[in-house]
């Protein structure tokens, strides 16, 4: 199983740099490493000081870079879905949707990149896979997408299938909106299955997220929310990286002010994210570009520890033998967390994020007795009998 490391954080804090540095260190430690970028700006290749290639390209011994060409991947994998979208658009009197337009949809590029990533994980070639994610909000939305989709697809697809087999082609032609053709449903299901597999990979026992920040008030506030929502969606966060920390030696009055402010924020970072380790990367004299500079960043960042050991943090969600559901929601605000029960599902809202949890069979028929948020954990207890027994 590959060790999967995701790097996320607010825009511009140093995600790409830190991801590239980690991948460089992994390769230099003798691990077969793939570093993947989902952004189209090719920053990862720039940071590594190489030219971007569409396929995984070995850029140094044991280190391969995959800069996903989303347009090509889309053409290859999801042409059928595009045909369906085109049909629906035409019937609604809209212009044809083109592949270019699909990739403009928010998040589409990252979804496609994640699907490509799954193919890479399947090859079993890689000891370590490092993913340079999009800035905070987008990544979150995407990471939650497979599960949200699961919810919708489970409801829609079986109906679609049922209708398809009973409605005659003539009726179908008269219907307001086109029914997906059989082969398109196949594509939809394939996409959906692919996304679920991606999610399993990214929340699985070999994967963890590292939160990158700079010691500044605004960045810290966002990182705190990100920690809560990553946990809500089931992703383990195993470290925080504080980048661009000003060295205090030889500081002039201007830098001394920054050093003092950053020290204050760093103390807050330590306190907020404890017990997670906080790795510090100093503000360097120059942009860390190229393998040697990146390796130096990684060494400063991780120190003595083994950054590629399996994650030692627990998965955020577990169900005890007594049937209590426990979901870690670190840093969540009591006033911002609420819970709703809908059929077999539990809907958990934390701030502006929502997770739809499909309850396991053992709990699905039991009503919620009580729920409480304590010490960063949401605990939900269920009645011992089914909802019909009351």
Ligand X SMILES: Nc1ncnc2c1ncn2[C@@H]1O[C@H](COP(=O)(O)OP(=O)(O)OP(=O)(O)O)[C@@H](O)[C@H]1O
Residues forming contacts to Mg ion in the complex (CB under 5 A) are 15-16, 43
How far is Cα 68 from Cα 40, in angstroms, rounded to an integer? 8
Taking the CB of residue 53, how many other CB atoms lie within 10 A of it? 15
Among 17, 70, 120, 231, binds ligand X (CB under 6 A): 17
Q: Are 108 and 145 in contact (CB under 8 A)?
A: no
Q: How many residues bind ligand X (CB under 6 A)?
A: 16
| Cβ 16 to Mg ion shortest distance, Å | 3
Closer residue to ligand X (CB): 63 or 134: 134
Torsion of CA 52, 54, 60, 64, to 10 degrees: 130
* 139: contact with ligand X by CB under 6 A: no
Query: Which residues contact residue 77 at a Cβ distance below 8 angstroms, ignoring those fewer than 6 apart?
Result: 112, 115
| Cβ 269 to ligand X shortest distance, Å | 16
Binding-site string for ligand X from residue 257 to residue 286, where x marks contact by CB under 6 A and - marks none: ------------------------x-xx--
Among 2, 4, 6, 15, binds ligand X (CB under 6 A): 15
- Categorise residue 269: left if φ over 0, alpha if ψ from -120 to 50, beta otherwise: alpha
CA distances from 242 to 161, 231, 354 (A): 50, 20, 28
Identify what 243 binds: ligand X, Mg ion, none; CB under 5 to 8 Å per kind.
ligand X
Closer residue to ligand X (CB): 194 or 288: 288
Identify what 17 binds: ligand X, Mg ion, none; CB under 5 to 8 Å per kind.
ligand X
Half-sphere exposure (Cβ direction) of 196: Cα atoms closer than 13 Å: 14
* 13: contact with ligand X by CB under 6 A: yes
How far is Cα 89 from Cα 107, in angstroms, rounded to an integer? 20
Closer residue to ligand X (CB): 21 or 346: 21
Identify what 82 binds: Mg ion, ligand X, none; CB under 5 to 8 Å per kind.
none
Angle between helices 108-123 and 70-77 (to 10 degrees): 80
| Cβ 5 to ligand X shortest distance, Å | 15
Closest CA to 284 of 271, 266, 263, 299: 299
Identify what 13 binds: ligand X, Mg ion, none; CB under 5 to 8 Å per kind.
ligand X
- Contacting residues toward ligand X, per CB under 6 A: 11-17, 43, 135, 243-244, 281, 283-284, 287-288
């Amino acid at each position: 199983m590959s060790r999967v490391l995701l790097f996320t954080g607010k825009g511009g804090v140093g995600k790409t740099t830190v991801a590239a540095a980690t991948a460089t260190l992994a390769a230099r430690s003798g691990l077969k490493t793939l570093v993947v970028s989902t952004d189209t700006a090719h920053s990862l290749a720039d940071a590594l000081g190489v030219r971007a290639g569409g396929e995984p390209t070995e850029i140094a011994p044991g280190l391969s870079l995959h800069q996903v060409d989303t347009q090509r991947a889309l053409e290859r994998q999801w042409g059928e879905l595009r045909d369906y979208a085109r049909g629906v658009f035409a019937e609604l009197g809209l212009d044809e949707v083109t592949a270019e337009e699909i990739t403009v949809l928010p998040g589409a590029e990252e979804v496609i990149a994640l699907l490509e990533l799954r193919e890479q994980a399947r090859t079993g070639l890689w000891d370590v896979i490092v993913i340079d994610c999009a800035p905070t909000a987008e990544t979150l939305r995407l990471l939650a997408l497979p599960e949200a989709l699961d919810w919708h697809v489970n409801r829609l697809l079986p109906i679609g299938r049922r209708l398809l087999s009973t409605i005659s082609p003539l009726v179908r032609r008269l219907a307001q909106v086109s029914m997906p053709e059989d082969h398109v449903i196949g594509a939809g299901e394939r996409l959906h299955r692919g996304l679920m597999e991606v999610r399993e990979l990214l929340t699985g026992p070999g994967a963890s997220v590292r939160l990158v920040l700079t010691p500044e008030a605004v960045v810290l506030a966002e990182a705190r929310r990100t920690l809560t929502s990553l946990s809500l969606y089931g992703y383990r966060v195993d470290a925080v990286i504080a980048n661009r920390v000003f060295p205090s030696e030889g500081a002039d009055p201007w830098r001394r002010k920054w050093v003092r402010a950053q020290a204050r924020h760093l103390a807050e970072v330590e306190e907020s994210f404890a017990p997670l380790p906080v790795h510090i990367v100093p503000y360097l004299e120059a942009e860390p570009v190229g393998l040697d500079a990146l390796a130096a960043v990684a060494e400063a960042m991780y120190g003595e520890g083994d950054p590629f050991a399996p994650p030692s943090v627990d998965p955020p969600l577990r169900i005890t033998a007594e049937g209590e559901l426990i979901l870690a929601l670190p840093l969540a605000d009591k006033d911002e967390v609420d819970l709703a029960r809908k059929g077999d599902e539990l809907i958990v809202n934390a701030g502006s994020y929502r997770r739809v949890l499909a309850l396991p069979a053992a709990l699905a028929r039991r009503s919620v007795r009580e729920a409480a948020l304590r010490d960063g954990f949401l605990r939900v207890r269920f009645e011992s009998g089914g909802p019909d027994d009351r």
